[in-house]
Structure 1
Amino acid sequence: MPKSAVLLMALVVMMAALIPVPAAAESADGAATIPADGHLVLLNFSVTADHFDDPENAGSVRWLVYLDDVSAQDSFDVFVMTADDYQEYISGGIFQLVIGWGAKNVGPVPSYNLVYLFGEGDYVLLIDNSDVGDTIYTPAELKVHYEYEAQNVEVPKETRWDLFIALMVLIALLGAAFLLLLNMWVKHRMERVDEERRKRCSNCGKVSISDGVFCPYCGNLR
């Protein structure tokens, strides 16, 4: 296989790896330390259309959050709310959870839930370590482990330099692929021209399909 063809195949594979593929699900797991009177946003996500008549395609978010053994705080809350209610939450206003879903005053028993979101909108999943819940709160540092998975949602991605660099690399690869194709085409054309020159009679200029020494058209030495 020609070297140019091998390089072209390698470029195609690299470009395919860089092309972003939209995902219908988002999931993550990890550990977190949340200061007293603080909170941690696990996920910002959007449901792009109403699904009251199409529950199978409704957005959903499932989570599991539990205390670390060395956590100074022994309770926490997990909330799912709209983006508007989140603004009320961080400003100390009155907020509501999505259709009443949430886990308040979670302690020794892990918090696990699955919430379906039938209405279009922007939502927030967060862990709360403050006094906004319904129980008496004692300020302390919270350490938790978490897992979550969201289905049929869109997760906004922040503009990052690594994505910009990846785009520039993709453009460079496309340019390199074009130059390789152009080089392969030029080489092919030159080989065809050289082949025709070898078969073309120097006397009459006609091209013969035979490999004889004498031209079948004019009889002269080629």
Structure 2
Amino acid sequence: MSVTAEAPRAGRSPVLLIGVAGGWLSLLVCNYLAYPLLDVLALLALLVMAACWLLAVSTSVAVLVVLLLRRAYVWAAGLLVVAIGAGLILQTTNWERTYVDSQFRLHRGQLVELADRYRIGELPADVALPWRLRYLSIDGQAHERDGALYLPVWQDWRAESGVGLAYFPAAPSPDTLIATASGDLGRPVRYLGNGWWWVE
């Protein structure tokens, strides 16, 4: 009788652990893809982020309660440490920098090719990006702005502030400004390589 009672409970453990892993993984993905999510979903992206946090925390608490009820204290302590550690890592990671740097590394060759075409005058003032780069720009285009080739990565819903990637044929000065939105001017703040800068 006890064997049959334990079997269903044991069978539920992998499902619960998969739920916890899925919750934290969804939160990781949402944090990494914050800019594309904000572009596509606008203010709903904040609800998606809140839902991911709720999923990660609630599944962790549910599994923790189950482990405590089963008196699996070592497993419960381990889960608690992992969940707190994951939460701290997610909160302390600079997701903007992580996203921008990884996307630049991933598309470096294509961005260099785009910059080469801009430098020799092959591009119009507003040009549609190749499909592999299109999601890096809120409108799928690169724009000639203030002597640079600019990809608007994000701007707020009122177009009062924005951030993006910019290629400068010559190194920008500390006073260089570029229009990042209709109501905002940004500065190149971090050099990424090959003439490309992060502008905010």
Q: Same fold (TM over 0.5)?
A: no
What's the TM-score once normalised by structure 2's chain length? 0.25
Determine which structure has more spread, i.e. the larger CA radius of gyration: 1
Structure 1 length normalisation: TM-score? 0.24
When you count helix as a share of all residues, which structure comes out higher?
Answer: 2
